[in-house]
Amino acid sequence: MINWNDYKNFNKSEFDCKHTGENRMRPEFMDRLQQIRNAYGKPIVVSSGYRHPSHPVEARKKTAGEHTYGVACDIVISGQDALDLIVIAYGHGIRRIGIQQKGSGRFLHFGMGDQALNFPPTIWSY
């Protein structure tokens, strides 16, 4: 069980599944995200954290994504701030990075890239 008091720049509700309200974020991911936030020195706005497998985004996938394991989040950010955050995140071991930086709804996906969960390191664009 996560002690959300350990993450001074985040709160549980940011990471709750928007479909079910559940939250199964893993402490090892949250520890890393807090380290990234400390290094970044600016607020990080999370748009998606944990997703239950029944969440509409996950239900459309052939296999469940990182969000369903509590080892990923999406962050609302754009432009130079996005680039700066990618550099910091990579330096803190984030090895799965999704980039949406066109049109509206610009964001980054950060995931831990756990081989055991069949999530190899990669970078992609939406």
Domain presence at residue 88: yes
Domain presence at residue 51: yes
Domain presence at residue 1: no
Per-residue model confidence (pLDDT) at position 74 = 98
Domain presence at residue 3: no
Q: Which helix (H) or strand (E) holds 108?
A: strand 107-111
Domain presence at residue 10: no
> In total, how many domains does the chain have?
1
The pTM for the full model equals 0.94
The percentage of residues in the chain with a pLDDT greater than 90, rounded to a whole number, is 88
Whose structure tokens read 């029944």?
Answer: 54
Domain presence at residue 72: yes
Q: What pLDDT digit, counting tens, does each position of 16-43 carry?
A: 999 999 999 999 999 999 999 999 999 9
Counting Cα atoms < 13 Å in the Cβ hemisphere of 125 gives 3
Q: What is the CATH number of the domain that holds 75?
A: 3.30.1380.10
Amino acid at 107: F
Q: How far is CA 60 from CA 65, 96, 99, in A?
A: 10, 20, 20
Domain presence at residue 9: no
Range of the structural domain that residue 94 is part of: 18-125
Domain presence at residue 13: no
